[in-house]
Amino acid sequence: MKFTAIVLSAGKGSRMNIGTHKQYLLLNGRPVITYSLEAFEKSPVDEVILVTGQGEEEYCRKEIVEAYGFSKVGKIVAGGKERYHSVFCGLQAVTDTDYVLIHDGARPFVTEEIIARTMETVRKTNACVVGMHVKDTIKITDEKDIVKETPERNNVWMVQTPQAFSCPLISHAYEKMLLQEDAAITDDAMVVEKMCQVPVTLIEGSYRNIKITTPEDMLIAEAFLNAKQ
């Protein structure tokens, strides 16, 4: 079986309120994106496709891939306007593979162990997503912020990445989805759920597998790295 990872590095990071894209911010002296690429480099994944912002391909090739010696990065392609456009650009670059893992490059704490478990599960299920049970009570509200429902906490997950699928399944799902341009879809599992009605299996990731979205997340990430060291 051949496994290909699509690592997304095309986000603008508007919620960071800075000029630099969040995936290129320095985290303990290294760009954020290098941490997840290093995990995939050391994992059993066969190939990595890096999806960058428009015009950033050469920068990523020289300053990220070559500078840090990521030999598994076989292709660097430009992404699109929205996340789902970028995923589709990555899928179009995939050739001759059985399973695809899709990962947000702004999640620097994915581990080789999480990747390996994801690969093992997707071979059995064809659709597998990493996540964790929520710690807080969740409220569902209406448009006036009035509580309508309090779901059972044991059944509520925070979804993370990587998200893994058989290559034919995720490719077909995205082809159908791009015809509709459904902006309400926020992750790859939703594409498969809505376009193909295929069940998706959730497996545990890690509470440390955070996504760098706001300045506070950088402080948390630095604390994790310092504790590890």
Q: Going residue by residue through the chain (229 aa), what tens digit of pLDDT does each one get?
A: 999 999 999 866 555 455 567 899 999 999 999 999 999 999 999 999 999 999 999 999 999 999 999 999 999 999 998 899 999 999 999 999 999 999 999 999 999 999 999 999 999 999 999 999 999 999 999 999 999 999 999 999 999 999 999 999 999 999 999 988 777 788 999 999 999 999 999 999 999 999 999 999 999 999 999 997 7
- Per-residue exposure over 34-48, b if at least 16 CB sit within 10 Å of its own CB, e if not: bbbbbbbbebebebb
Distance CA 164, CA 99 (A): 7
The sign of the CA dihedral 74, 118, 10, 207 is negative
What is the pTM (predicted TM-score) of this model?
0.94
Distance CA 180, CA 211 (A): 28
38: closest CA among 82, 8, 68, 60?
A: 68
- Residue 33 φ/ψ, nearest 5 degrees: -60, -25
Q: What is the pLDDT of residue 119?
A: 98
